[in-house]
Structure 1
């Protein structure tokens, strides 16, 4: 797990060091770069596999040079095949295997890799760069391209040094809706993200950059699972065991994030059967209704793991808010990033790699919103005029939840409702919310061969899991030089989940049915007979109490006027609604706080131009 950088633009060694230093937390074990007439390649290493200096990067293999961030979990299997084909290896690292696989398979090498990765290979013989990002977007890759100038990095702050960038208003609007900037945009007009499951080729002679998608979900159900439920359970159980097993290979200490929920408990249970001693980690909130550490403790006790509970309080939360932009670079408003950072900070004191349960909710229909949208779908069978009449009646209620329901059932179709749920049903505080709604993955809802639940699940995998969850975990864990691995995001498990009938995953309100049944073969079902709770912060209460003055100071009228794309007067009203308790507006307030802090940080940097029309 590391940070990478490269450029065809000539920079001094001093500037290159600065570009690597700004993300040194991603790889503090070793930093190195090469600076030639043709290319600059730089690397910050977090040593996980083959800790010897021979695996340091930039790494050379025959006529190739590579910088690589991530892990190829099946690299030993690929290596064995390549050795039979005559390839020789001088390390035990996966980096070397990527190079040999590229020579053997060309750009198709990515189809052989099971892992999380962002890498760039400089092929001296072809005089071109070849790069790729993993299927689900676990690892980031940003780039700047203008004719013969090409520059790439793990985080956009590296590209910003010594360059003038302008704020992208479209990206700002998308952030205000989604809480993150969706690929392929970045917050800067000049910087793009390589989309997940894409490769790129940059040709030095022509300066042409081409990108290509190499993987996607099966939207048309071309590969339906044909066995019965027990067959599916047995197949998935085997996939899970292998996915956890290959992610436990490391030359450094390894543990498991354990919330006490279905997904993390299943990962911890499988891991506990593969090794004798497992360390588990959970976070504790003092606020009633948010603390689930007791459930994690019960699971850990049953599995006999060495369990560690980390306490989260608002004082430490404020410190992380103040430094949020240092690690996230772009505005990012998933409030659970704060506890994830705290969890990572204290977990790193014990281990360097941690397994997580990310991906289970999206792939196996686990979020509460799936149950809700499934129930609401019944109402959408009524004609729109009737639904609007019901909405008008509900809107008379002083209860803000009733008003939200009224807005929802008055929408044209259920798919629009689901998309708008992410950005908040009521977006009058955003100057032009429809600009932010535009997303390249909305076409997922047009696939007629899938049920509503399958479509929203697909949509979340391509958007929320990619842009939100993966960004949150990557930045939060790497902020403290901790590698996070997610077995449930093994692409084989994702593909298998898409092949299953919906009722294997969701039946009569029973969410993640198949995962639960596998879990109950490892742990007593009684440990999980409770309502599902998300990994969230108690900001609703903190913003009205402990953090009230902090919010009002940082979101004063003068500060709000600096945020492009919002209606300041209406925004003041929604802050007031939250403070007087008439409406829970914490998601909007958190988005504004994050963006305000981010803007302040940018203004401290002379290399950034904020267009006067936007601020």
Structure 2
């Protein structure tokens, strides 16, 4: 796992600012502490930080083809590289390393922009072809690995694995995008392709970007999308067997490593399935890592221990204090953008623990999206049955009226909150799912934002993110539609971002067998009845794993990876949350209504309402302003230069 960065002068061949390139690379030192190198030629500079995983002795980057005309910097893993090497050798390409990185330069020579369609893995890379005067950027299908880019005011093009690399260049404006702020307060993250900064963009999942010398108007191109056809007629028994086969293959590919390897083990279905499958593929003991919580309401350690005992893993556990909130500023700096998933705290801690014992860890991330595991999926399907019984034109006025008249009952389970149910009946499927995914609902954001900020938004709503993806979903199946939306939004913007930054903060590589694109594609052909059956989510995965895992793991209630925010904000963080949210930094923006901020704090701390998620979202935005926006830009002298690599 690595960090990449670069500078291109697309209009000419002027000299690259080597100090700026060195700063960009140094800003990502945590992503690759083993080595750092740069390559500079007329109008182009590429930089790389390396965390050595495969071909430790000879896989240094930037890496070149035979004649030095093509050079690549790469972050990630191409899991099928061993099968690609003989195919490329048969086409006449000569390999000088045993690394997956070298496959990229030769695949580019063989197949051009379509090379990415041959790769199976998680990747973000930038390739410069001197003969074609072309810079080629690519990001993997599910955006496991990040890639940011920007056109600067002087016409130069810059890119990096993290926004901090672009900020370190010194030419990126810190002007914030109001639409990104709206997305953040709705979703808890800034959705692809937007970033918090007006000038920068994320390369979207399954997209490439070609920048040719002399051209400026370039747009990313999509090379992959998942299609929920739901047209497979496979029976349940055969589907279980096929799923076990595909899990075996996906995990086998991800166990290739020349450094210590292990797995996260939470005690949930996904991570337990990964560990059970790993144990069946090795003669040695699997290294497993878990965090326990000193608050029993959030602790799954006993279930993780059950799996560890069953498979006799080398199990490592550390207890996280229920008042482990000292990471607020650390996380703000690590994520570069406002990021409101509070489970970033235990994720950071489990990565910190894992790095003490391994360099590579397999995770169960993506299992809920792929197999249909979220509780919200069942609630959405419950509401969808009622929505489908009456046309929207009739539903909207009737249930809007009932929703306004009925009192709130936040204390009750969601399906028994009549006000929430009535409001859901008045919405379309996409509107309803967006509402269920919103941290601050549309009415809450309307009260939160000042008149000035609403004017800057010019009518933009974060709901447009969901509308845009829903238009491309090519399915009207209720479950498939929201799975597609999650694969495009929550998985990418929240889960993958959280895990990448938390793991890279500790120079740990995390691999994602349940996000293998061939597995995701196959699952998308299966009917939704194999994913949720009755009240049982992940039905197929659970049935498939019954020979390997006990029912106490497979069929217990889902807990999630949470922290006790509500208690923090009424207890140890009571004054801190008030100082942050009502303090000068948020007020300076002019974007928030102070009376509504006071209402959120007072209502929560009095116990009248649970606004913990909203308060955390505001706290993390305030921390982002202090730690990123207000940070003094990097200035000369630059850090010690990286080793210069020539072809």
Name the TM-score, length of structure 2 as normaliser.
Answer: 0.89
Say yes or no: does 1:585 pair with 2:607: no
Residues 114-513 of structure 1 correspond to what in structure 2 (within 5 A)? Answer: 114-145=120-151, 148-161=155-168, 162-165=170-173, 166-219=175-228, 221=229, 224-275=231-282, 276-314=284-322, 316-318=324-326, 320-380=327-387, 381-382=389-390, 383-384=394-395, 385-395=397-407, 402=417, 405=420, 408-409=423-424, 411-424=426-439, 425=441, 426-427=443-444, 428-431=446-449, 432=454, 435-445=460-470, 449-513=475-539
Do the aligned partners of 2:16 and 2:44 also contact (CA within 8 Å) in 1?
no
> Over aligned residue pairs, what C-alpha RMSD do you find?
2.1
Say yes or no: does 1:7 pair with 2:7: yes
Distance 2:498 2:411 in 1: 32
Q: 1:545 to 1:37 in 2, by over 3 A?
A: same
Q: Which runs of 5+ in 2 are unaligned?
A: 10-14, 635-647
Identify which range, 386-395 or 581-590, moves more after superposition: 386-395
- Equivalent residue number for residue 61 of structure 1: 65
Identify which range, 361-370 or 441-450, moves more after superposition: 441-450
Say yes or no: does 1:561 pair with 2:587: yes
Identify which range, 521-530 or 126-135, moves more after superposition: 521-530
The CA deviation at 1:572 is 1.6
Do the aligned partners of 1:115 and 1:134 also contact (CA within 8 Å) in 2?
yes
Q: What are the superposed Cα offsets for residues 308-366 of structure 1, whole Å, 9 maximum, x if unpaired? A: 11211255431x21211221111111111111001001110000000000111011110
Say yes or no: does 1:34 pair with 2:43: no
Q: What are the superposed Cα offsets for residues 523-544 of structure 1, whole Å, 9 maximum, x if unpaired? A: 1223333211111111111121
- Equivalent residue number for residue 644 of structure 2: none
Identify which range, 143-152 or 168-177, moves more after superposition: 143-152
Q: 1:564 to 1:523 in 2, by over 3 A?
A: farther
Do the aligned partners of 1:148 and 1:204 also contact (CA within 8 Å) in 2?
no
Distance 2:210 2:591 in 1: 35
Do the aligned partners of 2:333 and 2:628 also contact (CA within 8 Å) in 1?
no
The CA deviation at 1:407 is 6.4
Distance 1:138 1:203 in 2: 26
The CA deviation at 1:406 is 5.5
Do the aligned partners of 2:179 and 2:462 also contact (CA within 8 Å) in 1?
no
Identify which range, 424-433 or 195-204, moves more after superposition: 424-433
Say yes or no: does 1:49 pair with 2:74: no
The CA deviation at 1:450 is 3.1
The CA deviation at 1:449 is 4.2
Distance 2:60 2:51 in 1: 10
The CA deviation at 1:404 is 5.8
The CA deviation at 1:29 is 0.5
Picking from 13, 21, 27, the partner of 1:22 is 27
Distance 1:457 1:195 in 2: 18
Q: 1:592 to 1:11 in 2, by over 3 A?
A: farther
Name the TM-score, length of structure 1 as normaliser.
Answer: 0.94
The CA deviation at 1:443 is 4.3
Distance 1:118 1:137 in 2: 8
Where 2:197 maps in the other structure, the secondary structure is: coil
Q: 1:379 to 1:588 in 2, by over 3 A?
A: same
The CA deviation at 1:439 is 3.5
- Equivalent residue number for residue 86 of structure 1: 92
Distance 2:469 2:148 in 1: 25
Q: What are the superposed Cα offsets for residues 360-388 of structure 1, whole Å, 9 maximum, x if unpaired? A: 10111100001111112233235424423
Distance 1:94 1:31 in 2: 18
Q: 1:64 to 1:398 in 2, by over 3 A?
A: closer
Do the aligned partners of 1:429 and 1:571 also contact (CA within 8 Å) in 2?
no
Distance 2:590 2:209 in 1: 33
The CA deviation at 1:393 is 4.6
Q: 1:498 to 1:292 in 2, by over 3 A?
A: same
Where 2:115 maps in the other structure, the secondary structure is: helix
The CA deviation at 1:563 is 4.6
The CA deviation at 1:509 is 1.3
Distance 1:201 1:376 in 2: 44
Distance 1:18 1:443 in 2: 37
- Equivalent residue number for residue 530 of structure 1: 556
The CA deviation at 1:26 is 0.6
Distance 2:98 2:323 in 1: 44
Identify which range, 65-74 or 577-586, moves more after superposition: 577-586
